[in-house]
Structure 1
């Protein structure tokens, strides 16, 4: 098969692993920078030009679209779909997953456990917002934040009011969430491929850090999910329409709580923690569908 990986950096670990896994299974693979694709839209003959050459004979694409290029990257994925090419992440699912508020609404509709969350249109009644999530401590997240950036733990009511008012003053949209103390600064990342958990790890924030992101200095270890956690992760990916997804969860006294569903999950941390060949699972997913 001819497989295209949509990635801005061919040297990234995840991109390299996907190239390696595809070649091992006898496929031809090429990395394309989605921002260098020109889309030609016409009746019955949508096409893509890359570096001046028309793209033909593509069987599948693996989108590795960064958050900063979601708009154009999604347009490229959509164009491949119009050309009848299989994609491991559909364009609509990609758009849905990048909108944190919409994602939470979709997950809520699927009756999945979530931390209590409040979103307002720059409400001046900050005290009421804090009250809705059960008071301080609480978490404040920028809607556009990634990899733990734009996430604040407000430990007191005064601190929460100050931070929310500051973001409101900057017209930066935020969501306010309850703080799950029993999670102890840790979360779970489950990697879903084609409706199955192919790997899971527990990420623990460094001492004094409530964010567990590996990019923020957190550590990862392999974990065996409970039935509830596995079912929640699979259901979350399915509700978002994602064939490949990283589902982040908190362990709480009321069961697993979904934090986020990532449409371009990194492979380095989870492959290192679990020792599993996640890239191979993604290539096999393509083989089953093309």
Structure 2
């Protein structure tokens, strides 16, 4: 029997993640794969070598360490790094796929005065605009700013970027891609927040994506080197974000399509 390790974060544990991890384990078992759950801390001291690792974490250094040991890691450390940092995602897709106008904040090594940068950015992007910390999930660390003071209020020592606000009626489309195929999609809408994420109160419904939306999602995943990923698209033609380990339970509950078997079959085809 093929053996895989499901790598999850040692310090991020709650019922939502437990449900996902157990679902992946059961799905793998149905395909004849023994999937063993390991935390990123446990993997540092693990002596056994699996046939593959399904890396459901963002510990890029560990993922690279496992690759250096000759282990097949899905998604790859490079792909995870590109998706985890919104600035890196933007740069990897710049000129290839339509994205909101974006200005990546200049590097600083401590919290400093970004007033001049914010004023110049606002002239180019106009208000309202979107403030995003480069690292964050589930719509967290994403804010709608209507003034320079708004921008400044969200700045810490963490890297960030500013994007033009795309009017999309608080809706987007999430497309799950596995291999070179869009396998499922849902439309998300939030009547109380510009962020459509379900975690922030958004509601989802099954959705049949257009060919253009499928092409955007597939091409984005190809450009980022993803074996699988969740791609968010606004207004049918503008990419918002790409997730290397999207929470697949929500889309399964919405559409009835289980993404997990697609992922494991794709992994099997690459071993």
Same-fold status (TM-score > 0.5): yes
Q: TM-score, normalised by structure 1?
A: 0.84
CA shift, 1:149, in A, is: 1.5
* 5+ residue gaps, structure 1: 39-48
Distance 1:288 1:202 in 2: 30
Q: TM-score, normalised by structure 2?
A: 0.89
Change (3 A) 1:74 1:145: closer
Q: CA RMSD in A?
A: 1.7
CA shift, 1:241, in A, is: 0.8
Query: What are the equivalent positions in structure 2 for 1:138-177 lying under 5 Å apart?
Result: 138-154=129-145, 159-168=146-155, 170-177=156-163
Q: Does the aligned pair in 2 maintain the 1:18–1:283 contact within 8 Å?
A: no
CA shift, 1:33, in A, is: 0.4
CA shift, 1:166, in A, is: 2.6
CA shift, 1:139, in A, is: 1.3
- Does residue 195 of the first structure (1) align with residue 188 of the second (2)? no
Deviations 1:136-193 (A, max 9, x none): 1221112223211121112xxxx4210222334x344321111111x10011111111
Match of 2:258 among 250, 259, 277: 277
- Does residue 244 of the first structure (1) align with residue 231 of the second (2)? no
Change (3 A) 1:185 1:95: same
Equivalent position SS for 1:124: helix
Distance 1:174 1:209 in 2: 21
In the alignment, what sits opposite 1:46?
none
* 5+ residue gaps, structure 2: 107-113
CA shift, 1:123, in A, is: 5.4
Distance 2:211 2:160 in 1: 33
Number of residue pairs aligned between Structure 1 and Structure 2 = 258
Change (3 A) 1:171 1:78: closer
Distance 1:55 1:79 in 2: 14
Distance 1:142 1:160 in 2: 17
Equivalent position SS for 2:234: strand
Provide runs of 4+ in structure 1 moved above 6 Å.
Answer: none
